[in-house]
Chain A
Amino acid sequence: MATTTMTMAKALNEGLRRAMEKNAKVLIMGEDVGKLGGVFRITDGLQKDFGPDRVVDTPLAESAIVGTAVGLAIRGYRTVCEMQFDGFVFPAFDQIVSQVAKLRKRSDGAYTMGLVIRLPFQGGIGAIEHHSESPEALFAHTGGLRVMACSTPNDAYWMIQQAIESDDPVIFCEPKSRYWEKGEVDFENPPAGLYDAVVRRPGTDVTVAGYGSTMKTILRAADTAAAEGVSLEVLDLRGLSPVDTATLVESVSKTGRLVVVQEAPVHASIGASIVADVTHRCFYSMRAPGLVVGGYHIPYPPTRIEEDYRPTVDRILDAVDRVMEFD
């Protein structure tokens, strides 16, 4: 199996390149995505190779980036829209919720909303306000959209291509704090289906599920827990809407305990929804109520104190202790 080591940023770049090579209808639009290669360099070199009509440096208007991608989709193009940061997606929220999510239904299936909205999300980079948010639940809550999050370079490479190939609109969440971490990428074999959750580490005592940036933190917590004699089964959700409930149910049926870890505030979140759903489906195999470790119900804090907001190994282990104490 031929694999190559690269950063998630490079893997996304390679995935976008491959998608553009395979389908001439694939376009990239966003602020600074051309000459500059994007503020995170995810689209580095693509405009040079595919030209300014396919990798479009746009005026600075997020609603227009998405709104015009809708029109391009109606014309048969597949546009990958880059939102520069999570906190800047809101000017486009109206187009995403009112048009992207609803036009297929409104046109009785005539329109295919084949577009991807890339969202560098979550915190951990010491940025100023509006650059560290986790708005995924707002989109997951909206029928007509699909939402996913990658956590490894290999997933980034494959999932971005699968998202572009999907005939449904996809909100593609990229954990920006992990852009520069390296991992193995297998260019030959896709790892899993687009919305399949993946077991990153098998275990027996507690299922700990997460996505995006929290996966690395959970895996570290699993190492510490193992040293203390507690076996965590670590699940990477990948799909946030829809969620791969079958894989979650299978895991929790075995462990009897569930902790979901996210950066987003807990109230009305992905984790809260999963805990409610899994509790309903696995009630008789559960040995403790599920818990969510996440952000507080506040605007994202100034980043000098963000590590006391984002889930840490200690907070995850504390939640593990609490679900273990029910026996």
Chain B
Amino acid sequence: MGDEELVQLLTPEGQRVEHPDYTSSLSNEKIFSMYRDMVIIRRLCNESTSLQRQGQLALWAPIQGQEAAQIGAGRALNPMDFTFPTYREHGIAWSRGVPPANMLRLFRAVSNGGWDPYTYRHSVPTIVLGNQVLNAVGYAMGIQRDGAEEAVMTFFGDGASSQGDVLEGFVWAASFNAPVVFFCQNNQWGISTPMSTQSKVPLYRRARGFGFPGIRVDGNDLLAVYEVARTALENARAGGGPTLIEAYTYRMGAHTTSDDPTRYRVEAEVEVWKHRDPIERVKALLVHEAHTTQAEFEAVDAEAEELALQLRVDVLAMGRPDPITMFDNVYAEAHPLIDEGRREMVELGISGGSH
């Protein structure tokens, strides 16, 4: 990377490095628990890819390579903060407490969402690029009106950074000093579109032009992501306004299970990033600083394995929804066309009755 403006607290080799503005506040116990999160979410992600390959999911969007970015940001949130994700924020969802099976309801195509957003303070997935950024800014404007000490974090990628909604969100957040943190995971590729097509300047530098701070953090460095996210969230809660965080990372796998990255990127590039693996460097740190034992690491692997098997069981148990449920929750109030649709479905014998 060789970018002097990149915030890094842990090298790919697992060595701590100093930074003038950020110092890791994490105890070894907390680092270990976040290591556990990363291992589990990677294992669940791999299980999901397998489930898709076996025809059990319509699609899967893997996060391999982005575990530190998501667990670092997710664990920096306060319980009352609210998050607005894309479809790839499985690590954020995990840190908000969303059960893994719920994350897969969308990809099993039995739901357009998957969980109660208020229970987990984590909104439902947004697939149209950038829409959620404006929704997040609006939610932050609500926090301001309530006088609450809460913040919003919204997620998007390097691809969505070209969307008007993202840039309008920057304008509004700046104008209204909204308590929102824009967390951009720059994983270098928007399906086949390289970063160089999205922006001629590093993404974090865009923030300056909008009138708020932008920070580039090593997205594969758990310690740095956590500190940068925590600081930006605290600043937002205290009325300091928005921050853009560019987590500089890499999508190790395909965009989704429908993608074939060998058609547009070279293996050598992937090899370079393999040496920057977000989990391995934390493991190295834990070994030489916390003297975490092999048995302790194996216990995490075993737990991840168990969760993956449970996920498989839960996903396979998700049957086809009763077709009549397609009419549920379209409107809050009675609607004649909804009633008509339900009636027709029953008359045709497609469904047994109203839900």
| A residues neighboring B (CB under 8 Å) | 27, 53, 58-59, 61, 63-64, 66-77, 91, 94-95, 98-99, 102-112, 143-144, 146, 166-168, 242, 245
A53 pairs with B145, CB closer than 8 A: yes
- Offer 20 A-B interface pairs, CB within 8 angstroms, sorted by A: A53-B145, A59-B172, A61-B168, A66-B134, A67-B133, A71-B134, A71-B141, A71-B152, A75-B143, A75-B146, A77-B142, A99-B135, A104-B332, A107-B329, A108-B116, A109-B332, A143-B337, A144-B330, A146-B331, A245-B336
Q: Which residues of B contact A166 (CB under 8 A)?
A: 332-333
B165 pairs with A108, CB closer than 8 A: no
Q: Please, how many angstroms separate the alpha-carbon atoms of A63 and B168 in the complex? A: 8
| B residues neighboring A (CB under 8 Å) | 84, 111-113, 116-118, 123-126, 128, 131, 133-146, 152, 164-165, 168-169, 171-172, 175, 328-333, 335-337
A61 pairs with B171, CB closer than 8 A: yes
Q: Which residues of B contact A63 (CB under 8 A)?
A: 134, 164-165, 168
B138 pairs with A69, CB closer than 8 A: yes
**Contact A95/B165 with A68-B135, A106-B112 known, Cβ cut-off 8 Å:** yes
B138 pairs with A144, CB closer than 8 A: no
**Contact A108/B329 with A67-B134, A69-B138, A94-B131 known, Cβ cut-off 8 Å:** yes
B124 pairs with A242, CB closer than 8 A: no
**Contact A99/B116 with A71-B136, A72-B138 known, Cβ cut-off 8 Å:** no
Q: Please, how many angstroms separate the alpha-carbon atoms of A109 and B336 in the complex? A: 18
A103 pairs with B139, CB closer than 8 A: no
Q: Which residues of B contact A95 (CB under 8 A)?
A: 131, 134, 165
Most B C-beta atoms less than 10 A away, residue of A59, A69, A75: A75
B329 pairs with A68, CB closer than 8 A: no
Q: Which residues of A contact B171 (CB under 8 A)?
A: 59, 61, 64
Q: Which residues of A contact B329 (CB under 8 A)?
A: 104-105, 107-109
How far does the Cβ of B337 sit from chain A's closest Cβ, in whole Å? 6
How far does the Cβ of B136 sit from chain A's closest Cβ, in whole Å? 6
A112 pairs with B332, CB closer than 8 A: yes
A74 pairs with B165, CB closer than 8 A: no
Contact of B111 among A67, A108, A143, A146 (CB under 8 A): A108
Q: Please, how many angstroms separate the alpha-carbon atoms of A97 and B228 in the complex? A: 35
**Contact A143/B332 with A63-B164, A74-B123, A105-B112 known, Cβ cut-off 8 Å:** no
14 additional A-B residue pairs with CB within 8 Å, beyond A61-B168, A67-B169 = A64-B171, A68-B138, A68-B141, A71-B134, A72-B142, A75-B139, A95-B134, A103-B124, A107-B117, A107-B329, A109-B332, A110-B117, A144-B331, A242-B335
